Amino acid sequence: MKYVLSLDQGTTSSRAIIFDKGGNIISSAQREFKQLYPAAGWVEHSPADIYGTVVSVAAEALARASVSAEDICALGITNQRETTLVWDKRTGEPVCNAIVWQCRRTAEYCEKLKAEGLSELIYEKTGLIPDAYFSATKLKWILDNIPSARIRAERGELLFGTVDTFLMWKLSKGGIFATDYTNAARTMLFNIHTLEWDDELLKLFTVPRQMLPEVKPSGSDFGCTDKSVFGFGIPVCSAVGDQQAALFGQLCLNEGDVKNTYGTGCFLLMNTGGRAVKSNSGLITTLGATISAHENAKPPYVLEGSVFAGGAAVQWLRDGLKIISSADESQTLAAQVKDNGGVYFVPAFTGLGAPYWNSEARGTVTGLTRGTTRAHIVRAVLEGIAYQVYDVVEAMQKDAQVKICRLAVDGGASRNDFLLQFQADILNCPTERPKVFETTALGAAYLAGLYSGFWKSVDELKNNLSANAVFSPAMSEDKRKQNLEGWRKAVNRTLL
């Protein structure tokens, strides 16, 4: 029997999952690795840890399933986006640690770009705003600050890649130097309209073109792993950024389809098809995953919005306030009161994202009375997550002029039934939780399996797709409007 292997390289851990033809998980393995904080606001990963954990979890998953590498017909890779690596083309030795997407060391330079009026140029080409989040300024920092890096790069001795590129290069012993559209689109160097590395941006960020990988559709023939890695050369048939992988794993393939990943924060993506929607709400325009039998398949465009504090707000209840002992307890407590008792919580621990974009805002609790209990506060925190998601969805619908008909959800906090029911109520549309929670890894597997022929069509995948639960709206329109009015008042107080 044949299988698809998915490698999910995340910010805090690496996972390997083996899927069968029914989209079922046969085995999995996961390993955390060290987070490095060399200075205030700086975040790094050891490239050796990234690669080492990926290889070890892949071997562990194969062993657990009693499957050999020869039984894997296709390998898919999904990864933390924007994290930046530079390594020696000949030896494979990184010139420094990976600079993680969370790292803020280039924030001051990004403010300089904005002050020079370059935001519009960057947005028009890339769909992104100048921010330390994206790869270009991290790469520039490496070239400017690591001894001899710029000279070596200009001589063609160094290579740049996001995590997918680095992993493919290492797994193939230098045989693959490529990335996909979804990862390239997060570098702030790639033109999402021409689908090419942009010369004007390369000049702006002083990046030598010879450092850059070839860019392909997410489902493609990338090459094979070297047989020394797993004992057999496995075809690498997909590479895709984690959020776009989740969008594909949820089969949000039509214009207007939206998925939300409830993690530490929340990541919402809307498929806008062939339209690169220009946002008036501070949303990002980027590229989605595509599969192709040829190299010129045009990927769909995607609107993306982020909620800074999702599951982090529940962690705060547990670790900061210590009013719950586990995340699961939040659901039980929230259900103990009939409503929020007039209490609203705006979880602006590090500011508010779209559509407010106020970095100075801080968390606020409003409506406290002597009758307020910890159950009211817990309920307000869960509702606060759902309200933020509502705000981003509303911004997407407004920008794209599309009304969504369902919200596909995944991520750890999506296990909370109270949260998902309230989400359905406040959005006034069904919220669907899938049977397979690992939609990021599943998306990478679907892309690899479709390209390799393991699955014949998207229709075959739809037969695999089944919901673990569907939460339908049950709140009256009057109550919904009343709740949203209370939320807007709370946000306004937060923004004062």
Break the chain into its structural domains and give their ranges.
3-244
Beta-strand pair 258-262/266-271: antiparallel
Identify the CA nearest to 373 among candidates 343, 346, 393: 343
Residue 30 DSSP symbol? E
Residues whose CB is less than 8 angstroms from the CB of residue 99 and which lie 6 or more positions away in sequence, other chains included: 43, 44, 83, 84, 105, 138, 141, 142
In this structure, are residues 424 and 406 in contact, taking their beta carbons and an 8 Å threshold?
A: no
Residues contacting residue 480 through CB under 8 Å, at least 6 positions apart: 425, 426, 428
SS (H, E, C) 351-363: EECCCCCECCCCC
pLDDT on residue 159: 98
DSSP 177-202: -EEEHHHHTTTTSEETTTTEE-HHHH
367 torsion bin: left (phi>0), alpha (psi -120 to 50), beta (else): left
Cα angle: 106, vertex 107, 112; to 5 degrees: 100
CB 17 within 8 A of CB 10: no
pLDDT number for residue 156: 94
* Cα radius of gyration (the chain): 22
- Give the separation between CA 28 and CA 32, rounded to whole angstroms: 14
285-323 burial code (b ≥16 CB/10 A, e <16): bbbbbbbbeeeebebbbbbbbbbbbbbbbbebbeeeeeb
| pLDDT on residue 270 | 94
The pLDDT value recorded for residue 306 is 85
Residue 95 token pair: 């010139």
Q: Which fold has domain 3-244?
A: Nucleotidyltransferase; domain 5 (3.30.420)
CA dist., res. 79 & res. 62, Å (int): 20
**Residue 302: in which H helix or E strand, if any?**
strand 301-307
**CA–CA separation, 465 and 436 (whole Å):** 9
21 closest CA partner among 468, 467, 463: 463
DSSP class of residue 143?
A: H
Beta strands in 258-299 (DSSP E): 258-262, 266-271, 284-287
- Which residues of the chain fall short of a pLDDT of 50? 294-295
Model confidence pLDDT, tens digit, residues 453-469? 999 888 888 877 766 78
Q: Quote the tokens at residue 369.
A: 């009375």
The pLDDT of residue 333 = 85
d(CA 1, CA 4): 11
DSSP code at position 279? P
Closest by Cα among 177, 185, 110, 182 to 140: 110
pLDDT tens, residue by residue, 302-320? 999 988 778 778 888 888 8
CA 34: distance to chain centroid? 20
Alpha helices in 298-455 (DSSP H): 311-315, 327-334, 374-400, 417-427, 439-452
Cα separation, 274 vs 297, whole angstroms: 12
| Closest by CA position to 159, among listed 172, 171, 169 | 169
66: left (phi over 0), alpha (psi -120 to 50) or beta: left
